[in-house]
Structure 1
Amino acid sequence: MKKRNLIGTNLKNIRRHNNLSQEQLIAQLNLLGLDLDRTSLSRIENHNREVYDYELVYFSKALKVSILDLYKDIEI
C-alpha cells in the first residue's frame, strides 16, 4: 500500500516519547482547536491518511516540537 504521508512514524514516536496515548494527544489537539478523532490519528500514524499543513502546526504545538522534527530522518 502506498504511504499517504511522510510523518506518521515520527509522529507516533514523538507521541510515545512524551508518554502520551492517542486519546491524550487527541484531547490536547481538541483543546488547541483541531477537531481530530482517534481513528484519524491512527490512520495518520500508520501512513493511511494525508496530513494537512494546518494539522502539522497543531501537532507541533501539542507535542512541543518543531514542524521540522516531524520530518526528521525521513528517507524518500
Structure 2
Amino acid sequence: MKRIKDDTVFSKLNLCGRNIRAARIAAHLTQKQLSEKLETMAIYVCRGSVSRIESGERIVTDIELHAIAEILNVSIESLFPTKD
C-alpha cells in the first residue's frame, strides 16, 4: 500500500485536523484507539499518522475522513472549519 506523503505543500491542504482532534477528544478516544477503530474498517492509519493529521502535518484522504466521521459519530461537514 502506498504511503501518503507528509509534505509541506500537501499538508497545507489539511483543513480538518483541528476539528478531528476536538471530535476525538469529545468522543473520549485516544489517538491509538482511533487508529485501532480505523483498522477494523480496513483503513490503516497508525497512531503517529493520526497525530500528524490532527496537527495538520499530513493530509487526510476522503476515505479516511469518511471513516473518522463515522467512528466519531459526527458529520463530515462538522470536521471542516467554519467561516467566521
- TM-score higher than 0.5 here? yes
SS at structure 1 position matched to 2:48: helix
- Could you say if the C-alpha distance between residues 72 and 4 of structure 1 is closer, same or farther in structure 2, counting changes exceeding 3 Å? closer
What is residue 46 of structure 1 aligned with on the other side?
Answer: 55
CA contact (8 A) 2:12 2:56 kept: yes
How far apart in 2 are the matches of 1:41 and 1:28?
12
CA contact (8 A) 1:11 1:45 kept: yes
CA contact (8 A) 2:15 2:81 kept: no
CA contact (8 A) 2:19 2:80 kept: yes
TM-score by length of 1: 0.87
Alignment gaps of 5+ in structure 1? none
Out of 65-74 and 21-30, give the one that drifted further. 65-74
Moved over 3 A (4+): 1-4
TM-score by length of 2: 0.79
Higher radius of gyration, 1 or 2: 2
Say what the alpha-carbon RMSD is for the aligned residues. Answer: 1.8
SS at structure 1 position matched to 2:40: helix
Aligned length: 75
